[in-house]
Amino acid sequence: MNRRENCESKPLALPPRPLRWLFLDLNSYFASVEQQLQPELRGRPVIVAPVDADTTVAIAASVEAKRFGIGTGTPVWEAKRKCRDLVITPARHDRYVAFHEAVIAEVWRHVPVDKVCSIDEVACRLLDNENSPEAAVALAGRIKAGIRANVGECLTSSIGIAPNRLLAKLASDLRKPDGLVVLTADMLPHALYPLKLRDIAGIGAKMERRLAQDGILDIRQLCARRPREAGSAWGGVNGDRLWYLLHGFDLPEKPTQSRTIGHSHVLSPQRRGLEPARLTARRLALKAAARLRRKEYRSRLLVLHGRFEDDKTVWRTSVRLPATQDSFAILAALDRLWPRLAEAGRARPAGFRLRMIGVTLCEIEPVGADQGSLFAALDPGDPLARETRTLALSRAMDRLNERFGRNAVSVGPLNGGRLDRIGTGIAFGRIPEASEFHE
């Protein structure tokens, strides 16, 4: 046996990996908030839905509903079939944000919040005097009790404690609801072997197939590789990163940057024709443009996407934009795209029946320290001065809507209120700002 083979046959000596992270996941969050606000719903199977229609899906299910096999994404008609006593309540995203902020404030009373991961998840870094198993478990107990006492008795949480954030998140998923799981370094990685590869954030169907082609069918086989070999199977830059995380190393977070801003809406059954869908798309575009300005970004690409009733795939098209944050420029681009969607819808056997419509602004970048427009001093009728004027008007509309409420002033028709109400929704990875509920 040569020196290289002898070296590789020996297990790697791993350094100490103390408990560094506490990850809190609120159980059945939207449904739990509704049970807190509506005492008559407590103990009953409840789902939260975006609109009152069987054709939509549950965006949250209570613990009681989950016992019937109902979860996020279950069609409402199917949920009703699974549970005859099911209660359906409409989403109230502004209340979920308010409870989220109260939960964050309560967690801060016990430990600094390092990262808000989603509307119902937070991660906290433990200090040296907090990271013994006994101290960490006691801290978790105080946080759970504080949320129940000071935010709402219906808001239970599952907490995971581990050497890094990925493992703490995995630990929080191991025991629900109201669980508490600690993964210490001596338990790694064998404590993870019962999990599936798809349980790990970042491993989807495509990556699972890639790993299988390299002979990795489960977490045990992935962890048995040397770091470089595991990285080669994963592919890409820093491919060995997951191996180190699963073995308890606390690696620095990779920087992320927002790349898109957009909104989508599930249309009610009576509003799935061409004109209601077009007006809804305009309102979504205006919301996205307002967010773009508030974050001081501009966009270079507009994407229009939708899903027809008779097709599960997403239809999409796009158009280039001049780097802009102007509502009027974005609406003009949307008008250029709309005939493509109209043609695609009319060509379908059932005609134009659009279930979902969405508008996304892509290739966004910070505005930076832009100097004033050279065209601002031109005659107002000069075409070169148009964008300067319309952007100033867009910003003025933002201020009016923030002060006087949603749609105090808008661009184009609101159709006498005969469209679906477009509120601000919550993508689980993004918490809306309070101002968005006025857009």
Got the DSSP string for 375-392?
TTTS-TTSGGGHHHHHHH
> Would the CA dihedral through 292, 295, 298, 300 be positive or negative?
negative
Query: Quick one: pLDDT at residue 269?
Result: 87
Query: Quick one: pLDDT at residue 3?
Result: 38
Task: State the distance between the two ends of the chain, measured CA to CA, in whole angstroms.
Answer: 71
Query: Quick one: pLDDT at residue 55?
Result: 82
Query: Quick one: pLDDT at residue 111?
Result: 95
For the chain, domains (ranges, CATH) are 22-167 (3.40.1170.60), 260-438 (3.30.1490.100)
Nearest to 98 by CA among 438, 421, 431, 439: 431
Average pLDDT over residues 264-273: 89
Contacts of 264 (CB under 8 A, 6+ apart): 284, 305, 356, 357, 358, 359
Quick check: 319 and 365 in contact, CB under 8 A?
no
User: How far, in Å, CA of 303 to CA of 333, rounded?
Assistant: 10
User: How far, in Å, CA of 217 to CA of 78, rounded?
Assistant: 33
User: How far, in Å, CA of 197 to CA of 205, rounded?
Assistant: 10
* Tens digits of residue pLDDT in 305-336: 999 998 878 999 999 998 898 888 999 999 99
Q: Is 121 a catalytic residue?
A: yes
Amino acid at 234: W
- Report the SS3 class of residue 87: strand
* Tens digits of residue pLDDT in 227-242: 888 888 887 667 789 9
Average pLDDT over residues 122-150: 96
Quick check: 330 and 289 in contact, CB under 8 A?
yes
Burial of 290 (0-12, 13-18, 19+ CB in 10 A): buried
Among 121, 130, 436, 439, the active-site one is: 121
